[in-house]
Amino acid sequence: MGSKKKISVPAKLINGGVAGLVGVSCVFPIDLAKTRLQNQQGQGVYTGMRDCLVKTLRSEGFFGMYRGAAVNLTLVTPEKAIKLAANDFFRQLLSQDRKELTLVREMLAGCGAGACQVVVTSPMEMLKIQLQDAGRLAVHQQKVLGPDGPTAPFSQPPQDRPYTTGTASALRRPSATVIARDLLKTQGLVGLYKGLGVTLLRDVPFSIIYFPLFANINKLGQRHSEKAPFFHSFVSGCVAGSVAAVAVTPLDVLKTRIQTLKKGLGEDTYNGIIDCARKIWTHEGPAAFMKGAGCRALVIAPLFGIAQGVYFIGIGEYILGYFH
């Protein structure tokens, strides 16, 4: 991405992995708030990102804000590595005589990168969302049922969407291992890839917007050297990441709703992308498609800023050079 050196795939994988680990560690609580805000229907538990973080900290403690982080930290390394390395690979593949890529070819390279990453992204997001949303479900149930039991009649939840009753403290905390095992046992590998279609619909447009935008902004800092300075690459990643993140937020809302396995009492369930979009539009209005947009920008901007900064510093090349 701007470098004319031949791609070293192992180095790019290391760069992507390091960047992903550092970025996720910094912004995960905001990502948790994003998931909970997007899953709210009607009169929700939280009024905004700050309210969500404060209430989560009070009711679940500091580590409650990092629910699902283990899954993310485990799988974000291959995810970010695949995304960044694939973009480099497709850019090199589409370049002709090492000339500058046209905007269309840059978008095609981003499209290829987005399509490749969903192999890891889809199951990672599936497991992460269940863990992140567990606290909201507990508070929602307690709010609906009250301390002395149900205040209004509710229909029984579908059998494939079990819902545990009880207070927030009594709810059993889900485990990524248990969720994955149950999905594999009942639905096979398809269960882990629920929402694959909408994940593609989100990640491919994101990459089509992000990578060309980043490359062109970053190019402004390459006037006197082959690589842009670290700070310029960082800012370029932040700007491109935030623009792309906000642009695809409606698709992210759909993905979050579809991949959430457990719904609170009285909350809608969905049967595919069109059904989900129709119900959100009808019951919550068009503004609901932008839920969590601010959180998403605050997550993606530093995440990709750090990723591109690390990528252009060349930590992977340094590590490989040291061992050689």
Query: pLDDT tens digit string along 31-41?
Result: 999 999 999 98
Q: Which residue has the tokens 């791609």?
A: 7
Least confident window among 137-141, 205-209, 224-228 = 224-228
DSSP calls for 174-232 = P-HHHHHHHHHHHHTHHHHTTTHHHHHHHHHHHHHHHHHHHHHHHHTT-SSSSS--HHH
CA–CA separation, 113 vs 206, rounded Å? 10
pLDDT at 293 over 90: yes
For residue 16, name the pLDDT band (cuts at 50, 70, 90). confident
For residue 147, name the pLDDT band (cuts at 50, 70, 90). low
Mean pLDDT taken over the chain:
84
pLDDT tens profile 228-286: 788 888 899 999 999 999 999 999 999 999 999 999 888 999 999 999 999 999 999 99
How much is the average pLDDT of 53-74? 91
For residue 163, name the pLDDT band (cuts at 50, 70, 90). very low
Residue 169 CB neighbour total at 10 angstroms:
8
At 294 the pLDDT is 94
Task: Copy the structure tokens of residue 169.
Answer: 């403290």
At 38 the pLDDT is 95
How much is the average pLDDT of 7-21? 75
